[in-house]
Structure 1
Amino acid sequence: MKIYKLLFFTFLLTALTSCTFTENIYINDNGTGKFSIDVDGSAFMGMAGDQLGSQMGAGAKNDIDSTFTFKQLFAEKKDSIAKLSTEAQKEIKKLENFVVTTKMNAEKKQFLMTIATDFKNVNELQDILQTAGTLQKLEGGSSINPLGSGLGDNNSKLSYTYDGKKFSRKAVINQQKVTEKVKDSAADMSKMIYSSSNYIMKYHFPKKIKKISNPNALFSDDRKSVTIQYSFTDYIENPDKLNFDVEFEK
């Protein structure tokens, strides 16, 4: 199956129905690690999996297990990328090492997608979700952005910091963009679509957590991992609500 066709249906799924988005970060002792976004659209498959499978072809009706990198995709779209500004091309390049894995099974009512990359320092992840929005600038961009139109489009700048003693996740809201979005009638539609979706953060550290600024955080038994859940509406409308700081034991 062509990558474009798979991504087109992925985009429709994440844009038109409730999903669970899970942001995962694994940090090693030396500060390197792995970042991923898991999208679970199985609820949609339970409602329309047979129809979706049929539209994607006879071979896809039973099972899809696909893995590719954005680097592969960009090689196929090099002509469109060359037409973009130098700044936009630099933004897109940040995504080329991301690996996209999609598993869809209409019979089992399952749709799972993971977008993952390794990093040398969490600072590399600054605005990584917003960068995905740059894909919209490509020809047919909406159909090659597997994150859909909501993830990363919350009018904020997101950054992460980690120095071995503390970790911070911080989103700073762009008030000008918020004002512009209020005037956009599509904003109400997006709010309705995502009202039943969830956004979960699961972070895994090499050290035990001494304290965390978020009172709703759930710890693993060894206190090295934390899970925090919000509605996707919070992620879209109040991205700074998801900010938190972590202090580690010595």
Structure 2
Amino acid sequence: MLLFAITLTSCTFTENIYLNEDGTGKFSIDMDGSGLMAMIPEDSIKTQKAVDTTFSFKDLFAGKSDSISKLPKADQDRLKKLENFSVRTKMDPTDKQFIFSMFTDFKNVGDLQDALATMNQAKGSSKDADNPLLAAGGIGSNNSDLKYTYDGKKFTRKATVLKKEILEVENDSAEAYKMIFESSTYVIKYHFPKRVKKVSNSTALFSEDRKSVTIEYPFSEYMENPDKLNFEVEFEK
């Protein structure tokens, strides 16, 4: 009965980008899993204490320097690209709240590509629990390569589905995400320094000043058809 309830409980995943005129900005992926917390029996969490912690990957990797030194050079280079990311986890059993956030500042929105690719690849990189790559696994691989571009006139979000021989999503992992997050939502919220003229996605919602865009998708779409989340934003002159 509990399993059935969990499958009907939704989480909200939000991809945020705050973009400045010069191309710098802030990026985050947030998960609100409070709906899942609400389904856990009171007796199971009554002894749990509230948690609100934040750590940076740079500090995490510093504590695993011995393990990292044993990784192939390519893996070490990929981890280096994640050092500017931080993670916040907030769980309050009393208020039935569970929030997970992974965030970073960036100098160029195109620089996010390598870091996100590392998170995607981390899911299948190793079964070794001591492998630091596993800590960078994000919210689950959707077997895609995500790129952002911004030239002052247009902004694009483009996910390219990878071939199975390049990156294979583990069936067990994919099925678990599909079952638990079947009714969940993936929300894209982008905030720009200019007024938006148009967006190639007809379901996009605009803020009153037309500088922010919000688009919602089923989470299953993000996992199974990531290229359907592609779109282009054109700005007013």
User: Normalising TM by the smaller chain, what interval?
Assistant: 0.7 to 0.9
CA offsets 1:143-188 (integer angstroms, 9 cap, x no match): 734634x2xx11111100001100000011123359955x946544
The equivalent of 1:206 in structure 2 is 193
Kept in 1: contact 2:11–2:185 (CA 8 A): yes
What's the counterpart of residue 86 of structure 1?
73
Give 1:47 shift: 1.5
- In structure 2, the residue matched to 1:8 is none
Residues in 2 aligned to 1:127 and 1:203: alpha-carbon distance in whole angstroms = 20
| d(CA) in 1 for partners of 2:179, 2:190 | 28
Residues 70-219 of structure 1 correspond to what in structure 2 (within 5 A)?
A: 70-136=57-123, 137=125, 139-140=128-129, 141=131, 144-145=135-136, 147-148=138-139, 150=140, 153-177=141-165, 181=169, 184=171, 187-219=174-206
1:25–1:204 Cα contact (<8 Å) kept: yes
Structure 1 unaligned runs (5+)?
Answer: 1-16
Secondary structure (helix, strand or coil) at the match of 2:116 reads: helix
- Residue 48 of structure 1: which of 40, 46, 56 is its match? 40
Aligned residues: 225
Asked if structure 1 preserves the Cα contact closer than 8 Å seen for 2:78 and 2:115, the reply is no
SS in structure 1 of the partner of residue 39 of structure 2: helix
Partner of 2:164, secondary structure, is helix
Unaligned runs of 5+ in 2: 1-8
Q: Secondary structure at the match of 1:215?
A: coil
- What CA distance in whole angstroms lies between the structure 2 residues aligned with 1:50 and 1:146? 30
Determine the C-alpha separation between the residues in 2 that align with 1:217 and 1:243. 12
* TM-score, normalising length: structure 1: 0.81
Percent of paired sites with the same residue? 55
Q: Which residue of 2 aligns with 1:242?
A: 229
CA distance in 1, matches of 2:30, 2:173: 25
Once residues 71 and 49 of structure 2 are traced to their aligned partners in structure 1, the CA distance between those partners, rounded to angstroms, is 38
Q: Give the C-alpha shift of residue 65 in structure 1.
A: 1.3
CA contact (8 A) 1:92 1:134 kept: no
**RMSD of the TM alignment (CA)?**
2.5
Number of the residue aligned with 1:13: none
Aligned to 2:27: 35
